[in-house]
Amino acid sequence: MTSRRTPSSRDRDQAPTQAPRVEFEDTTPYDAYVRASTLATLQRTATDEPGEYMFLVVSQVMELYFNLIAFEWRTAQRFLREDKLGEALLALRRSNDHFTALNASWVSFRWMTPPDFNAFREALGEASGFQSFLYRHVEFLLGFKDAALLRPHKHVAGSHYDELVAAFEAPSLYDDALAYLARRGYDVPTAALDRDHAITYEHIDAVEDVWVQVYADTSHGDPLRAFAESLTDIAEQFSDWRYRHLMAVRRAMGAKVGSGGSAGLAWLERSLLRQAFPELWSARTRI
């Protein structure tokens, strides 16, 4: 169990007039920790267009959130495997709050008209968010698996490709949720428990039955329903991200072909239809 720091005398015995320290022999402790000076070197735009600067900054912000959300889901998976539902729920709740902040970032794109986007679009070359390995990691944790989507990342620097392959082959968050329900005595079918994790999760009728049972248990404050609702929130937030992305694309470039080589809008509309955690949605018709 990790211990939490309790208030020390430094926290308690402050004079209300005491001002923050302003002299440092080296860089500030803040910069040593946050690395803002390094962060500020990472926005290397190819043009002077304000749209490009915003595009790059918001893309980087989103990448950081993808990583943070994946971290929370891996934490939740670890706790589920240890049968610690309460701790897993806290991690899922945090991830949902992060998702709300992530999705709010799309507001920065609302002003962008096609001429604003055209002003720097050529400078992006073939770069496309489709090539984001952190986004792909998030999709793998949600159970969307397609081996072809590993290929673009083979030569990415560092250990990212190996981590992505590991996430591709490992159980998704939903796989761990179903395994947990099975250990709690629910009749989760072997088709869900023993499946090949490197394949996209598809709807299974008997899993729908399990969620119907979870929601049928109306005992006051049942944590399993809270669990089901947290997972539902995640699936909805992810669809929100996709929808807001789609609308930003529609506003900025209409139905033009994407820089990553796809049909653009039509391709994104198709992926919007794919729903994470399918039985949590289909079960609702029967509840």
* Residues at the site binding ligand HEM, with contacts judged by CB under 6 A: 58-59, 62-63, 109, 112, 117, 128-130, 132, 135, 245, 248-249, 252-253, 258-262, 264, 267-268, 271
CA distances, 205 to each of 29, 187, 276, 279, 286 (Å):
55, 12, 15, 8, 12
Question: Judged by CB, which is closer to ligand HEM: 124, or 212?
Answer: 124
CA distances, 51 to each of 2, 62, 186 (Å):
44, 16, 52
| 3-class secondary structure, 5 | coil
- What sign does the dihedral 218-278-87-79 (CA atoms) show? positive
Which token pair is 283? 């079960």
Give the number of other Cβ atoms within 10 Å of residue 149's Cβ.
18
Question: Judged by CB, which is closer to ligand HEM: 223, or 254?
Answer: 254
- Least distance from ligand HEM to the Cβ atom of residue 6, Å: 40
- The continuous run of DSSP H or E covering 44 comes out as none
- Least distance from ligand HEM to the Cβ atom of residue 65, Å: 9
- Least distance from ligand HEM to the Cβ atom of residue 236, Å: 16
Question: Judged by CB, which is closer to ligand HEM: 135, or 227?
Answer: 135
E-strand spans in 147-214? Answer: none
- Least distance from ligand HEM to the Cβ atom of residue 95, Å: 17
Which token pair is 57? 């900054």
Question: Judged by CB, which is closer to ligand HEM: 140, or 174?
Answer: 140
- Least distance from ligand HEM to the Cβ atom of residue 240, Å: 14
Question: Judged by CB, which is closer to ligand HEM: 188, or 252?
Answer: 252
CA distances, 145 to each of 24, 120, 185, 226 (Å):
50, 33, 28, 27
